[in-house]
Structure 1
């Protein structure tokens, strides 16, 4: 890690503002990782295709010394996703692929003067592999249906690893980008307990970030790991619909510009509800709301609404 670039020293307030915007934007890994029913087991050979849209708006609070006020953002996100269930050494495994596209606007006042920017394009795609280590074995459809009828209560333990690829829109001459120009690696451990039509999920995640050696104005960007816990309660009704409520907490994750710490450790609370309903034998719709609150004086408070269509075959 070298010394801080002279440009950053001369423009530290503006650079810090834009960096915090970049880190607190709704595209952060922690917010996108909030997902109920991710450990639900389905028959081997099942494919799932989904299309989703979310709208997020919020406010960003900065250190008063930066003289940045009334900072707000709006973000539109469309996601195309695919998942497949398969057997690995007799256990159920799942492969996920997500391809996101985003359009966002940021505006506020810097030293009393209005400032704004916008971005549109592809964000960083995500891959995820998960496997059920403890619990029911991998099963085809007939075995799966029989097992569910015979077992009203089950508990499983799953392990997963996610990878966010640096393929989204990125330019080193811009401080705010939809892509992050770095890999994000997310190992996860999850527990799922199901009793009749109720499910209880707990997931522990660590977000590891590689360095961005092509950050703005010749600087390097580094970030400590983010630690997170999330829990969900899901109720499934006899005729197919389900409703879920969840909460998540994330902390740590301080960032460094060319070795200089920014003192921006995360301390974030997420909570939300979602609802799914079948519209055909193999299709369903999902809607939901997610609230994000920073538990420090500096950070982002946001609201998100989302809906999606899912086809299972």
Structure 2
């Protein structure tokens, strides 16, 4: 029978793999239970797979029509909790490998683009300012037993590093060739078997000086918010429903704005259960819908596996 400590850690880690599966829609992730503290002196490794499929809506001036995308992604992530003073903190690393195919009409003729390789990895450091103090598994269990209703406020900074596959002469790439900095503030309220979470993010982009044959490209900031409702069932089964919205990201090429800012609504559901003593499995579905004339309408279906050591 899986322990409370192991089940708690596995739930947190499995939710980590959602991040890159939703990146093809807007860069916004859907990641519930992001702010719950993890026991010190633990290592968590997660691997996930997901298929993303749907339509891409380009600016009509590009003369690209009926464009669809199909993405197969494998994501590996590692989480290490630690403490800063008495505060619970954690460091995350996410590495994605992607196979993606785009099909459609370009100037009225059939066209097809395929990319296969690593996308940009992401590093993230976070600290919980309130809530449970940093501690071992037993200490966290005692805290939550004594405080079945509790609230956590946390802050984080994620950095996407431009190490993914990128071809200067091509418009469609797996990597972005630019740093992405994402400061984030999150709030989670737990009451016994229920949890509610609200998180706000700002995506800040560095310049890409080698966009499509040496042009200079930058993106305006993206503002995003996401909310989650999670229910834990006996014995150690759980489910979540999520909603997210992002707005912004207009591209500016050679100092010329393109009036192509994005707006996307995402919703998702997930279900997880224990597997062996220190392992767990989760299934999830995410849908992304653009609210602009330019964007994407995508469906993501995936599975994640996590192990504690």
The reply to whether TM is greater than 0.5 is: yes
Task: Give 1:8's aligned residue.
Answer: none
Note the C-alpha offset of 1:64: 3.9
User: Which of these residues, 49, 56, 61, is aligned with residue 60 of structure 1?
Assistant: 56
CA offsets 1:248-280 (integer angstroms, 9 cap, x no match): 000011001111111111111000101111012
- Residue 148 of structure 1: aligned partner: 144
Paired residue for 1:162? Answer: 158
- Match in the other structure for 1:239: 235
2:103 aligned partner: 107
**How far, CA to CA, are the matches of 1:273 and 1:196 in structure 2?**
20
Q: 1:31 to 1:182 in 2, by over 3 A?
A: closer
Match of 2:36 in 1: 40
Contact 1:293 1:300 in 2 (8 A): yes
Higher Rg of the two aligned structures: 1
**Segment of structure 1 superposing worse, 252-261 or 64-73:** 64-73
SS in 2 for 1:217: coil
User: Size of the alignment, in residue pairs?
Assistant: 289
Say whether 1:98 aligns with 2:127. no
Measure how far apart 1:32 and its partner are. 5.4
User: 1:132-169 CA deviation, whole Å, 9 max, x = no partner?
Assistant: 10112111122111112111100010000000001001
2:282 counterpart of 1:286: yes
1:71, 1:29 → 2: CA distance? 14
Change (3 A) 1:29 1:140: farther
Confirm whether residue 266 of structure 1 aligns to residue 262 of structure 2. yes
Q: Write out per-residue CA displacement over residues 98-151 of structure 1, whole angstroms, 9 at most, x where no aligned residue.
A: 110001000111222111110000100000111110112111122111112111
Residue 136 of structure 1 pairs with residue 108 of structure 2: no
Equivalent-residue separation in structure 2 for 1:297 and 1:144 (angstroms):
48
Structure 1: gaps (5+ residues): 1-24
Q: Does 1:298 align with 2:294?
A: yes
TM (normalized to structure 2)? 0.90
Q: 2 CA distance for matches of 1:41 and 1:68? A: 46
In structure 2, distance between residues paired with 1:300 and 1:306: 19
CA offsets, 1:177-205, max 9 Å, x none?
Answer: 11111100000000010000101011000
The one of 197, 200, 203 equivalent to 1:201 is: 197
RMSD: 1.5
1:203–1:71 distance in 2 versus 1, CA, 3 Å: same
Match of 1:224 in 2: 220
TM-score, scaled to structure 1 = 0.89
1:174 partner SS: coil
1:290 positional shift: 0.3
- The answer to whether the 8 A contact 1:31-1:270 is kept is no
Change (3 A) 1:26 1:196: closer
State which of 169, 172, 183 in structure 2 corresponds to 1:173. Answer: 169
Shift of 1:29: 8.2
Checking the alignment, whether the CA contact within 8 Å between 1:58 and 1:74 is kept in structure 2 is yes
**CA 124–64 in structure 1, closer or farther in 2 if over 3 Å, else same:** closer
| Pairs within 5 Å for 1:114-125 | 114-125=110-121
Q: In the TM superposition, what is the alpha-carbon distance from 1:31 to its structure 2 partner?
A: 4.2
Q: What is the Cα deviation at residue 35 of structure 1? A: 0.9
**Which structure 2 residue ranges, 5 or more long, are not aligned?**
1-20
Residue from 74, 77, 85 that aligns with 1:89: 85
Query: What SS does the aligned partner of 2:213 have?
Result: helix
* Preserved CA contact (<8 Å) 2:266 2:287: yes
